[in-house]
Structure 1
């Protein structure tokens, strides 16, 4: 029997290896793109959809070498090039640069200059650097990566500024033009859902030269396979209703599934494959422990997300609608109809909600919501966000104006209430001495939220006990 450490099996913070679930249509599409000389690749989708895991496992399977750059919001084009050169252990020869006539990549940061051992004089600068006319930068970088028979993987492409994205789009053309000489040379950019559209819009010539691969959130069967495959590797099992609850709460996000499974294993003290066939079976109390711990882990994120979200116009109406509907979310027109029917305001249209919905789905504003391009539904990021929103909306409606300290206190109480709905299932919210709810209807609604997230059209055969 092979022995696996639990951190090899359930990997919420890094790409899955041992417990990688292959998604055949995506896998074939990506393989064709990677094997086509000159074809540049853009992999895009929601955070947590499995973009990086998909790519890294395919690169390993095809035995392709790569150099990877993780983008940040403040990265310049110079920073990106510097990152690649350092990782390839490559330097350009020293050259003389007239500061008054300098063109191209711009001024390097002190950290980057230091990495190339630069020296300065009062009038001119002599340094080991890649600052040069733009065409020279493109050609030199392309050949350097091509000689290494590598692929350049650019993660979080969407975080870059528009001017940096534009230069990278131009660089993709250079990579493509050199593919006759270097057949494996290409850029693979990973990013949020609009990444592919941005690349083409920045340079229209890339329209037929980029393979756009959309990675949707996982479906129920794929999330289920993560649980089943992981428990098999650890030689334990999980009851069917527990698997169903993990599937429901993961909401298509593999990292949430991995985190819940990891925490359930911690609940029964499983740190590696059970060599002794102890018959460990994960049950409701293990899931409740995992859900409670998960809420505690993301509590600051939850509070921050909702504090940002509530500053957006129309957020209260939008969140109210989604909290009252199925966890799978609603279409834009349904949102419009709900708001027009339930709020005393000027009648709105779909156009009215486009901007607030975009912001509520954006990381800069907390990413409380997500948009599913397949179903065309807007929904909460995951059921934990929906639970928190339900509790938050009930409490915030009791008092129209809250001070900053009152808001912070309320958020802390909401986190405790959300945890309690899982961590103490035998003592429901009605029996809690510090419950937030003042009437029976509030309590009933909260109890229904505890872990009753059964989807209306699940693909998994669910049973009740």
Structure 2
């Protein structure tokens, strides 16, 4: 195919759409066969809570999002995703979830006795408001409709998830520190409660999906032992050769780039089955070809991609590539 600057610009734009090393793969997601079927069946089971775990770079979040898309098509579910960090606390978690649900949280403390007399302390009332409607303009007063009330944030959250048919994804559980153990316990408790209470919401597929590493399951079971029988634990391994090949072939084809079978196999071998690396090599190999003013991938373009990746991510990639080689989770 003759080179033109316009074709090069279109190809580069497509590379950014089909190869997403910094984001979960959605458009260029490859079906993972039996594993996808297993995950979807657990997602579609009412009252079933799920832990998806595996090594960093195995594509866990991509699998979750792809199968939740299918769940939405069949059962009209919604989902919100909250990513854990080493600074996440119970309060910041609740604030993040409420914000993603487009709800505003208000806390009131009732300090009157049965005779209406003021007393010390009192009962904390939590009100979660729907703030999606009622705003007319920047200077008008917002109309707020109360939807959910309770005395415990996690009980209110459970009610919200069930009544709105919403799945809560708690991603990167391994990032929670020892200081966040109270949050991890509350998450295990709400997951257990949602399994028990699902019978009261026969039309809802709401659930909690935890995404983490192998130790995540042990921590959740340790915190709330009765959760073990209610939690499906699904391990996601690194991509196999066929899956990696499919991602590269599809991404390059969608970007109007031509490649040989051997070039695809070489890029796959280098990636060691790590989804992030597959997408990075695919994208940067394409960039090298475009910089060379050609839409035909050459071996030297893969070499350039490898050098570019190591220059930018040397420490990060050295660790995850080594983990992939020894099969570490």
**TM-aligned CA distance change 1:225 to 1:368, over 3 Å:** closer
Q: How many residues align?
A: 281
Deviation at 1:186, TM superposition (A): 0.7
Q: Specify the alignment match of 1:162 in structure 2.
A: 181
Work out the CA distance in 1 between the residues paired with 2:120 and 2:300: 70
Q: CA-to-partner distance for each residue in 1:187-238, whole Å, 9 max, x for gaps?
A: 0011122212222222110111001011001111111111112222223222
Contact 1:45/1:51, CA 8 A, preserved across alignment: yes
Residues 170 and 103 of structure 1, relative CA distance in 2, 3 Å threshold: farther
Secondary structure class of the residue paired with 1:194: helix
Q: Distance in 2 between matches of 1:92 and 1:260?
A: 44
Is 1:286 aligned to residue 286 of structure 2? no
Considering Cα pairs closer than 8 Å and 6+ residues apart, tell me whether 1 or 2 has the greater RCO.
2
Q: 1:265 to 1:369 in 2, by over 3 A?
A: closer
- Structure 2 CA distance for aligned equivalents of residues 101 and 32 of structure 1: 47
> Which of 26, 32, 39 is the matching residue for 1:17?
26
Where 2:52 maps in the other structure, the secondary structure is strand
Match of 2:232 in 1: 211
1:443-458 pair list within 5 angstroms: none
Relative distance call for 1:163 and 1:96 in structure 2 (3 A) is: closer
1:223–1:257 Cα contact (<8 Å) kept: yes
Q: What is the TM-score of this pair, normalised by structure 2?
A: 0.76
User: What SS is found at the alignment partner of 1:235?
Assistant: coil
Q: Unaligned regions of 5+ residues in structure 1, if any?
A: 105-127, 271-277, 306-365, 382-465
Q: CA RMSD in A?
A: 3.1
Name the CA distance, whole Å, in 1 between partners of 2:40 and 2:258.
34
* 1:378 to 1:145, Cα distance in 2 relative to 1, 3 A: closer
What is the rounded CA distance, in whole Å, between the counterparts of 2:233 and 2:156 in structure 1? 26
Matched, 1:298 2:319: no
Computing the radius of gyration from Cα coordinates, the structure with the larger value is 1
Q: Tell me the residue number matched to 1:254.
A: 275
Is 2:96 the partner of 1:83? yes
Tell me the distance in 1 between the aligned counterparts of 2:320 and 2:25: 24
8 A contact 1:49–1:218 mirrored in 2: yes
Query: Which structure carries more strand by proportion?
Result: 2
Conservation of the 8 A alpha-carbon contact between 2:258 and 2:296: yes
1:34 aligns with 2:43: yes
How far off its partner does 1:367 sit? 6.1
Alignment of structure 1 residues 42-441 onto 2, 5 Å = 42-63=51-72, 64-96=77-109, 101=121, 136-160=152-176, 161-182=180-201, 183-269=204-290, 280-299=295-314, 301=316, 369-370=322-323, 377=326
- Give the gaps of 5 or more residues in structure 2: 1-9, 112-118, 125-145
> Residues 221-258 of structure 1: CA distance to partner in whole angstroms, max 9, x if unpaired?
11111111222222322223322221121111011011
Pick closer, same or farther for the CA change 1:103–1:238 going to 2, 3 Å.
Answer: farther
C-alpha deviation, 1:290, in angstroms: 0.4
Q: Distance in 1 between matches of 2:63 and 2:258?
A: 26
- Match of 1:14, SS state, is coil
